[in-house]
């Protein structure tokens, strides 16, 4: 047997939504497939498997990333948050609530990725990270509609719920500010 | 405001889509596509792949079981060695894991006897033919008066050809099936727009009784027509599951969707319109050329909106097809209306320029008082109201009609308008309504919610009819074991399903007059007779689309600054989801206008740009100020809700509004979609 065709497995540990998992993964497996197929966390979606749609967006060590582009074996020890981990028990997060109130989804397939992406993005803004449409790189970015659209453009929505998505992100950002004030 | 009933599941990740059902011992399928554009499979080297650890089966025409009665070639998987287009499925590998199946498919060696494919759509193709009908059952050609002569002697004539490219539906959830055989038959967790229709067709394909097939699809990640009938994935999963004696799941990888799950045909549309100097139409000729595959005929009804839109005593429409060695086209959001109205409404803009009549006034002048072709009265027609309402809201009055009149720095700014229309279809359906002992109600119908909001809308309809609180109404859909329903297609769901729900609820209320029995009470309704008995009317929704664009004079980049759709679609049942439907359609229209194009590989066949990095759909940054509103419309000739469908009309006319705005901004008329910097720059 040609070695290249024999699956190679490796032991890794992942912390997903606060829970630790010891796993023996196929080294070819993406984080997305491990979450969905091995751990049964099917909230993260697969739209393209090539980093082109954002449906698989999760938070890896606090930063948003495409789960389909991340090899599981390369993330031993990572702390991962998926859409299943955004709510606190029954209490939806502000961004989840805002998505419902602004009808920011239709089929719902891009939605877990949008939610994780928005969660990570609001953190990026809070940390003062600029985007390509930020005019003044010297001061903290102001999260206007153009900033939201730019920063959310890695998450495609074929249903065309962008108008609602922008409204929802804005609402969640305001809720967050109000909570911090 | 009524939020979607499944909102919470959708924002917490709890809503399950087809690939996500936890079944024991599941295996995975990965399919292999033909790498030649036409020819035959000569040999499949299954043995070396079967030798890989974890590979469970390899199926191809060499060993696939004979299918009973596939309704068309697209579902006759692995039944012959013929390759009809590049990208057609020729084999499938089943493995213990996704990684193993994919590796096996990658390694499977398939030998072909290749012939050179004929893939180029052109108006002088020797094999053009007139189809017996166009989708679904319209005549291919119509003619009234003396269109050629009348055109020839019209004072103002416009003779132009518009083309639209192939476009792919690209729902975010790929076409997916999880198939499980058991003693009773076959269970399919499927990503479909119609559980009952998948049940029927797959039973036929595998020689089963309809009751032996169960299709489960409560959540579907979009479809836009491409999941309106079973695609090869369903047969592949079911065949593979039977072969390995285990449940098998198969999601078509995004790249494979472009060849195997349907798309909108490219069109070449010649328009000749003749009018008097005031813009009153005298003759309209709309001749369409489009493609189908050699596997299955699909004839897009591109010229049908021209039959409905404007008065003109002399008129002709025609459709010609050619069967090429290409993937099989199919339904994509508003088939017919979308490409047809793009062309018609662009031509109307050209006529407005040619006659010097304001584009809105031009449309009002050509408003018919009856359906211009079949002579039937319209059940309601509020196009003019939409145009006027939109003009008011959008600020049309201040528009200088001269093209290229407004410049802001590097940006050329313009405004365009286009009309929109879509038929108000309605088909027979069944539903049950049950009064539960605890005082709540359960509605059952095998309808689909592919993101439309159907579940919520049906609950609202039921609650209203039952005079119950929405919270006391449970709606079960997305399962073929429920009362038989039509597909989510043709924007017919609210009308067709809703009527069955209303009738079931009415009957239940009548029976409940005698009190609620301890075990509850269930009644059912079937609207077959009611639909048959409908009076003859021409039933259509109408709308007006307004767009303001800015065009970078140096780079040719077009951005839509603002867009407004005003629609007349009967009674709007759930304003929240309705607005999302309209805006979603308009958003897809922006894609059609500015970016969507599937490019055929002329040498080898199949579409070249088969992923989301190369086939561009609108992203968040592309959609700025887009809104949709509607005018009040009360129409007693539709259905008990007074509703017309709204799933498709939002895309209709959207691309024309953008194109007309580009012309107004730049003076450049682009007659071939999409409008890209490459087409604009040389002409700016
Ligand atoms: S599935 Fe990962 S980006 Fe599309
Ligand atoms: S909600 Fe359907 S793709 Fe975004």
Whether residues B598 and B557 fall in one domain? yes
Report d(CA B214, CA B80) in Å as an integer: 28
Whether residues B200 and B252 fall in one domain? yes
Q: Per the CB < 8 Å rule, is A45 touching B221?
A: yes
What average pLDDT score do residues B509-535 get?
95
**Whether the CB of B222 sits within 6 Å of ligand 2:** yes
Ranges of each domain in chain A: 9-85, 94-180
pLDDT bucket at A4, cuts 50 / 70 / 90: low
What is the DSSP-derived secondary structure letter of residue B175? Answer: P
- pTM exceeding 0.90: yes
B57, B244 Cβ separation under 8 angstroms:
yes
pLDDT bucket at B81, cuts 50 / 70 / 90: very high
Name residue B606's beta-bridge partners.
none
Interface of A with B in 53-72 (CB under 8 A): 53, 55
Name residue B271's beta-bridge partners.
B160, B286
Judged against a pLDDT cut of 70, whether residue B310 lies above it is answered with: yes
User: CA Rg, chain B, in Å?
Assistant: 26
B interface test, pick of A159, A166, A170 with most B CB neighbours within 10 Å: A159
Task: Mark which of B224, B241, B260 sits at the end of a domain.
Answer: B260
What is the separation of C-alpha B183 from the centre of its chain, rounded to a whole number of angstroms?
36
> B584 — contact with chain A (CB < 8 Å)?
yes
Whether residues B139 and B108 fall in one domain? no
> A144 — contact with chain B (CB < 8 Å)?
no
**Whether the CB of A105 sits within 6 Å of ligand 2:** yes
Q: Where are the beta strands (DSSP E) in chain A?
A: 9-16, 19-26, 57-60, 63-66, 79-81
What does pLDDT average to over chain B?
A: 97
What is the separation of C-alpha A43 from the centre of its chain, rounded to a whole number of angstroms?
11
What is the DSSP-derived secondary structure letter of residue A36? Answer: I
Q: What is the DSSP string of B564-619?
A: EEEEE-B--S-HHHHHHHHHHHHHHHHHHHHT--BPB-TTT-SBS--STTTS----
B349, B663 Cβ separation under 8 angstroms:
yes
Q: Which of B12, B99, B587 sits opposite A162 (nearest CB)?
A: B587
**Whether the CB of A49 sits within 6 Å of ligand 1:** yes
Cβ-Cβ contacts under 8 Å, A43 against chain B: 12-14
Report d(CA B5, CA B443) in Å as an integer: 14
For B266-277, the pLDDT digits (tens) are: 999 999 999 999
B566, B646 Cβ separation under 8 angstroms:
no
**CATH class of the domain at A94-180:** mainly alpha
Whether residues B542 and B609 fall in one domain? yes
Q: Which of A50, A109, A115 sits opposite B254 (nearest CB)?
A: A50
Query: Which of the ligands is closest to the CA of residue B254?
Result: 1
Q: What is the pLDDT of residue B211?
A: 97
- Tokens standing for residue B111: 């030998």
Phi, psi of B216 (to 5 degrees): -115, 125
Distances (CA, A) of B366 to A30, B281, B384: 59, 7, 10
Judged against a pLDDT cut of 90, whether residue B112 lies above it is answered with: yes
Report d(CA B106, CA B32) in Å as an integer: 8
> B585 — contact with chain A (CB < 8 Å)?
yes
For A120-168, the pLDDT digits (tens) are: 999 999 999 999 999 998 889 999 999 999 999 999 999 999 999 999 9
Ligand 1 pocket: which of A30, A33, A42, A55 to mutate (most atoms within 8 A of CB): A55
> A44 — contact with chain B (CB < 8 Å)?
yes
Task: Decide if B126 is inside a domain.
Answer: no
Task: Mark which of B260, B277, B307 sits at the end of a domain.
Answer: B260
B61, B42 Cβ separation under 8 angstroms:
no
How far does residue A48's CA lie from ligand 1's centre (Å)?
5
Burial state string for B523-561 with b = 16 or more CB within 10 A and e = fewer than 16: bbbbbeebbeeeeebbbbbbbbbbbbbbbbbeebbbebe
For A57-86, the pLDDT digits (tens) are: 999 999 999 999 999 999 999 999 999 999
Length of chain A: 181
Whether residues B148 and B108 fall in one domain? no
Report d(CA B269, CA B271) in Å as an integer: 6
Give Cβ neighbours of residue B393 (< 8 Å, ≥ 6 apart): B564, B566, B629
> A103 — contact with chain B (CB < 8 Å)?
yes
Whether residues B46 and B66 fall in one domain? yes
SS3 B349: helix
Whether residues B144 and B234 fall in one domain? no
Q: Which of B16, B251, B583 sits opposite A46 (nearest CB)?
A: B251
Task: Decide if B96 is inside a domain.
Answer: yes
What is the separation of C-alpha B175 from the centre of its chain, rounded to a whole number of angstroms?
15
What is the DSSP-derived secondary structure letter of residue B376? Answer: P
Angle among Cα B269, B275, B277 to the nearest 5 degrees reads 140
Task: Decide if B583 is inside a domain.
Answer: yes
Residue A122, min C-alpha distance to chain B (Å): 16
**Which runs of consecutive H residues, i.e. helices, occur in B412-542?**
454-466, 493-512, 528-532
Name residue B92's beta-bridge partners.
B31, B59
For B422-468, the pLDDT digits (tens) are: 999 999 999 999 999 999 999 999 999 999 999 999 999 999 999 99
For B182-233, the pLDDT digits (tens) are: 999 999 999 999 999 999 999 999 999 999 999 999 999 999 999 999 999 9
**Which runs of consecutive H residues, i.e. helices, occur in B153-217?**
195-206
Nearest CA to ligand 2 atom 3: A157
Say whether the peptide bond before residue B136 is cis (omega within 30 degrees of 0).
Answer: yes
Domains A9-85 and A94-180 share a fold: no
Q: Say how many domains are in chain B.
A: 3
Q: What is the pLDDT of residue B501?
A: 98
Q: Per the CB < 8 Å rule, is A106 touching B53?
A: no
Domain of B182? 19-116+171-260
SS3 B536: coil
Task: Decide if B6 is inside a domain.
Answer: no
Angle among Cα B533, B444, B436 to the nearest 5 degrees reads 120
What average pLDDT score do residues A24-46 get?
98
- Per the listing, tokens 């070819």 go with A28
Report d(CA B313, CA B385) in Å as an integer: 24
B327, B259 Cβ separation under 8 angstroms:
yes
Q: Which of A29, A115, A161 sits opposite B584 (nearest CB)?
A: A161
Task: Mark which of B260, B285, B305 sits at the end of a domain.
Answer: B260
Report d(CA A79, CA B545) in Å as an integer: 47
Ligand 2 pocket: which of A53, A103, A110, A152 to mutate (most atoms within 8 A of CB): A110
Write the CATH number for B283: 3.30.365.10
Catalytic residues of B: 648
B235, B309 Cβ separation under 8 angstroms:
no
- Tokens standing for residue B152: 């020839």
Name residue B249's beta-bridge partners.
B28, B178
- The topology (CATH level 3) of A9-85 is Ubiquitin-like (UB roll) (3.10.20)
Task: Decide if B369 is inside a domain.
Answer: yes
Task: Decide if B125 is inside a domain.
Answer: no
What is the separation of C-alpha B288 from the centre of its chain, rounded to a whole number of angstroms?
19
Task: Decide if B128 is inside a domain.
Answer: no
Q: Per the CB < 8 Å rule, is A107 touching B3?
A: no
> A16 — contact with chain B (CB < 8 Å)?
no
Angle among Cα B333, B336, B338 to the nearest 5 degrees reads 55
Judged against a pLDDT cut of 70, whether residue B631 lies above it is answered with: yes
Whether residues B156 and B182 fall in one domain? no
Strands B39-44 and B110-114: antiparallel
Q: Which of A44, A110, A154 sits opposite B172 (nearest CB)?
A: A110
Q: What share of chain A is helix, strand, coil (3-state, %, to 5)?
A: 40, 15, 45
Q: Per the CB < 8 Å rule, is A103 touching B617?
A: no
Whether residues B204 and B159 fall in one domain? no
Judged against a pLDDT cut of 80, whether residue B542 lies above it is answered with: yes
- Tokens standing for residue B126: 């020797």
Whether residues B228 and B268 fall in one domain? no
Q: For B561, name the nearest residue in chain A, comparing CA atoms only.
A: A146
Nearest Cα residue to B190 out of B26, B6, B21, B430 = B21
pLDDT bucket at A1, cuts 50 / 70 / 90: very low
What does pLDDT average to over chain A?
A: 95
- Tokens standing for residue A163: 């108008």
Strand arrangement of the beta sheet that strand B39-44 belongs to: B82-83, B39-44, B110-114
Residue B551, min C-alpha distance to chain A (Å): 18
How far does residue B240's CA lie from ligand 1's centre (Å)?
26
Whether residues B101 and B184 fall in one domain? yes
**Whether the CB of A109 sits within 6 Å of ligand 2:** yes
> B626 — contact with chain A (CB < 8 Å)?
yes
Q: Per the CB < 8 Å rule, is B13 touching A92?
A: no
Whether residues B57 and B189 fall in one domain? yes
Interface of B with A in 445-464 (CB under 8 A): 450-453
Computed from CA positions of residues B608, B612, B616, B617, in that sequence, does the dihedral angle turn out positive or negative?
Answer: positive
For B160-177, the pLDDT digits (tens) are: 999 999 999 999 999 999
Task: Decide if B484 is inside a domain.
Answer: yes
Q: Per the CB < 8 Å rule, is A45 touching B17?
A: yes
What is the DSSP-derived secondary structure letter of residue B17? Answer: P
Strands B142-144 and B89-95: unpaired
């Amino acid at each position: 047997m040609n070695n290249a065709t024999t699956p190679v497995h490796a032991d890794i540990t992942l912390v997903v939504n606060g829970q630790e998992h010891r796993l023996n993964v196929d080294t070819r497996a993406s984080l997305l497939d491990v979450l969905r197929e091995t751990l049964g966390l099917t909230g993260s979606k697969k739209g393209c498997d090539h980093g082109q749609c954002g449906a698989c967006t999760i938070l890896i060590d606090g930063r948003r990333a495409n789960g389909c582009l991340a090899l599981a074996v390369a993330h031993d020890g990572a702390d991962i948050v998926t859409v299943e981990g955004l709510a606190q028990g029954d209490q939806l997060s502000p961004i989840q609530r805002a998505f419902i109130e602004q009808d920011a989804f239709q089929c719902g397939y891009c939605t877990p990725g949008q939610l994780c992406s928005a969660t990570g993005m609001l953190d990026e803004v809070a940390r003062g990270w600029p985007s390509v449409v930020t005019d003044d790189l010297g001061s903290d970015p102001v999260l206007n509609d153009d900033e939201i659209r730019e920063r959310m453009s890695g998450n495609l929505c074929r249903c065309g719920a962008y108008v609602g998505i922008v409204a929802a992100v804005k609402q969640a950002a305001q809720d967050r500010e109000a909570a911090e004030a | 405001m009524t939020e979607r009933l499944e909102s919470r599941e959708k924002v917490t990740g709890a809503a399950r889509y087809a690939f996500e059902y936890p079944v024991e011992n599941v295996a995975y399928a990965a399919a292999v596509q033909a790498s030649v554009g036409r020819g035959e499979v000569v040999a499949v080297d299954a043995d070396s792949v079967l030798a890989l650890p974890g590979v469970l089966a390899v199926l191809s025409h060499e060993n696939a079981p004979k299918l009973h009665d596939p309704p068309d070639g697209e579902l006759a998987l692995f039944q012959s060695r013929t390759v009809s287009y590049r990208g057609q499925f020729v084999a499938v590998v089943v493995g213990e894991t996704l990684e193993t199946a994919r590796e096996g498919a990658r390694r499977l060696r398939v030998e072909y006897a290749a012939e050179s494919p004929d893939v180029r759509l052109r108006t002088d193709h020797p094999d053009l033919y007139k189809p017996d009908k166009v989708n679904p059952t319209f005549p291919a050609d119509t003619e009234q008066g003396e269109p050629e002569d009348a055109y020839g002697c019209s004072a103002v004539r416009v003779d132009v050809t518009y083309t639209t490219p192939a476009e792919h539906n690209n729902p975010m959830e790929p076409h997916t099936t999880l198939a499980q055989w058991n003693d009773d038959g076959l269970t399919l967790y499927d990503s479909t727009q119609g559980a009952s229709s998948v049940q029927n067709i797959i039973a036929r394909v595998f020689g089963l009784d309809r009751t032996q097939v169960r299709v489960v699809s409560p959540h579907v990640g979009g479809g836009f027509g491409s999941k309106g009938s079973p695609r090869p994935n369903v047969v592949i999963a079911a065949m593979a599951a039977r072969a390995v004696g285990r449940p098998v799941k198969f999601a078509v990888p995004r790249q494979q969707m472009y060849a195997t799950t349907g798309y909108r045909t490219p069109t070449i549309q010649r328009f000749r319109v003749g009018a008097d100097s005031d813009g009153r139409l005298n003759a309209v000729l709309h001749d369409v050329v489009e493609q189908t595959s050699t596997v299955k005929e699909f004839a897009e009804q591109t010229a049908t909106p021209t039959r409905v839109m404007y008065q003109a005593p002399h008129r002709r429409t025609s459709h010609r097809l050619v069967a090429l060695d290409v993937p099989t086209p199919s339904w994509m959001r508003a088939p017919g209306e979308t490409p047809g109205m793009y062309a018609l409404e662009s031509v109307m803009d050209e006529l407005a320029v040619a006659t010097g009549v304001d584009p809105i006034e031009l449309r009002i002048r050509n408003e018919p008082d009856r359906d211009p072709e079949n002579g039937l009265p319209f059940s309601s027609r509020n196009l003019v109201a939409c145009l006027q309402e939109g003009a008011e809201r959008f600020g049309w009055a201040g528009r200088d009609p001269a093209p290229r009149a407004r410049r802001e720095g590097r940006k050329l700014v313009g405004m365009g308008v286009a009309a929109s229309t879509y038929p108000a279809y309605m088909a027979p359906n069944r539903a049950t309504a049950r009064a539960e002992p605890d005082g709540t109600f359960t509605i059952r119908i095998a309808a689909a919610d592919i993101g439309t909001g159907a579940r919520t809308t049906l609950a609202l309809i039921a609650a209203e009819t039952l005079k119950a609180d929405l919270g006391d109404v449970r709606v079960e859909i997305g399962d073929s074991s429920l009362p038989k329903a039509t597909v989510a297609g043709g924007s017919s769901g609210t009308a067709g399903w809703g009527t069955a729900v209303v009738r079931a609820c009415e009957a239940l209320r009548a029976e409940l007059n005698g009190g609620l029995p301890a075990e509850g009470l269930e009644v059912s309704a079937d609207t077959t007779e009611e639909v048959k008995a409908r009076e003859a009317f021409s039933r259509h929704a109408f709308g007006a689309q307004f767009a303001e664009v800015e065009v970078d004079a140096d780079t040719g980049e077009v951005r839509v600054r603002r867009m407004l759709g005003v629609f007349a679609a009967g009674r709007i049942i759930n304003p929240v989801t309705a607005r999302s439907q309209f805006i979603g359609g308009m958003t897809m229209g922006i894609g059609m206008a500015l970016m969507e194009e599937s490019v055929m590989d002329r040498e080898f066949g199949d579409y070249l740009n088969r992923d989301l990095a190369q086939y561009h759909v609108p992203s968040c940054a592309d959609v700025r100020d887009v809104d949709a509103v509607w005018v009040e419309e009360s129409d007693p000739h539709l259905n008990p809700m007074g509703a017309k469908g709204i799933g498709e009309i939002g895309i209709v006319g959207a691309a024309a509004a953008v194109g007309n705005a580009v012309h107004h901004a730049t003076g450049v008329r682009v007659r071939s979609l999409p409008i890209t910097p490459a087409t604009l720059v040389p002409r700016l």
